[in-house]
Amino acid sequence: MQLHLPIMRNRSMLWSEKTAPVQTDSAKFSEKYGDQSQYELKLVQILFRHGARTPLKSIPDIMEAQWVPNLLKVPAHTEVNYVVTDLSGGPRPPAPVEDSYRASTLTGGTHPGQLTTVGMQQLYDLGNRLRKRYIEDVRFLTPEFNPTEVYVRSTNIVRTIESAKCLVAGLFHQKQGDIVPIVTTEAESEVLYPNYHSCRLLKFLSGHRWAESLQLPDIDRDLKKLQGMLGIAAHQRVDFILIRDDMVARETHGLPCPPVLSTWRTTVEQRAVDMMCHIYDPSQRQNLQLCVGRVLNILVGNMEDKVKGVSSETNRKLNLYSVHDTTLMPCLMALGIFDMKWPPYAAEITLELHQHRDTKEPFVKVSYIGQDKLIPGCSGIYCPLKEFKEVMSTYSLTAENYRSLCNQTHED
């Protein structure tokens, strides 16, 4: 998502935003998922990025793309009966971030940051792949949505809420025994993205590093050159993240792009990632802690509760979190598996909790866009939970520790 920083297929699923192909042939099941005969699946947790959307801001001074309402048409097969509530089941909280999108209109008549038909289909397709994995192949979930089995949480933004709905539609093929509750929280207490507004220290650290990123020699040189080639006035505030966001949105929906960007595409992608790496700076523990420490703590805590049998939701099998690219990137950095590529639309990080059938020891298996990952510090793809918890302890933050850190100033 590119929420608070000025950041930010299916015509042929173009360029880097296309969702990665995932094998679905059952004969290749063990090849893809490894030998699971020794392990029993206990809990699945998935952080996934929303689908393709309208841009957050158009590149200034260049030809406008027509973002017409027809691009947002909802496919009938992505519909489910759902309700959005706060974390305790009450009314949906106010959504100031969404309100800020609705306050402006793109050329063509739609608002910035809105999930498109292409994006809806991407999340439906992801749900369909999860269905193959967890309903058809391992028979882990019941084939009809059951709120006692499946928990759905989203940031309080329409594109992530709609993405969650589309994923659930694909996962259960619209079969539901009950209404689908999608829970969210107010902006000031959101921890599913780096919250610059409510975490004072993170706002200072990130703002400082954002300004620095624009002055990095390679970024500064390339940006000035590209800005000149695009004919963007020198006084316009523009950066590679904004350019990339608009460029990819256009490509994804088959809308015209300035020809010069076709030759600059690789550079735009790389410089945008370079900026994000500088802003998040994986070498700075505190910065990543404040970005995703709460998310990691929640995920690990859910697994520990499942192992101990102390969860109030004893039948819970799947936790779905509908988030943003600015959630996935720092998570990937904290996990030590960031591939220096911008997470595509509908990208997902999956954490599976397994229990060894003989020793009863819990293990964690992490995958990104359908590919199993060896986490640095873990002894194998199946990582003992105690090892995984130790690795995550570098960045994981309890609610109390997070609040204490956020309230600090840079002088503390």
Burial pattern 229-248, b for ≥16 Cβ within 10 A else e, equals ebebeeeeebbbbbbbbbbb
Burial of 202 (0-12, 13-18, 19+ CB in 10 A): buried
| Inter-residue long-range contacts of 296-300, CB under 8 Å, 24+ positions, other chains counted | 296/331, 296/334, 296/392, 296/395, 296/396, 296/397, 297/392, 297/396, 297/397, 297/398, 297/399, 297/402, 298/191, 299/45, 299/351, 300/388, 300/389, 300/392, 300/396
List C-alpha distances in Å: 337 to 181, 293, 330, 386.
32, 16, 10, 19
Which among 4, 50, 324, 354 is annotated as catalytic?
50
Question: What pairing do the DSSP bridges indicate for beta strands 39-49 and 150-154?
Answer: unpaired
- Helix (H) / strand (E) element for 371: namely strand 371-373
Of the candidates 104, 59, 58, 112, the one whose C-alpha atom is nearest the C-alpha of residue 233 is 59
Q: How far apart are alpha carbons 92 and 86 in whole angstroms?
A: 5
Q: How far apart are alpha carbons 127 and 164 in whole angstroms?
A: 9
CB 86 within 8 A of CB 93: yes
Which among 246, 324, 325, 354 is annotated as catalytic?
325
Structure tokens at 150: 């499946």
Q: Which residues contact 412 (CB under 8 A, 6 or more apart)?
A: none
SS3 165: helix
* CB atoms inside a 10 Å sphere around CB 392: 19
For helices 325-335 and 259-280, angle between their N-to-C axes, nearest 10 degrees = 50
Whether 50 sits among the annotated catalytic residues: the reply is yes
Structure tokens at 123: 């999340």
* Region for residue 278 given its phi and psi (left: phi exceeds 0; alpha: psi -120 to 50; beta: otherwise): alpha
CB 122 within 8 A of CB 344: no
Supply the residues annotated as catalytic: 50, 325
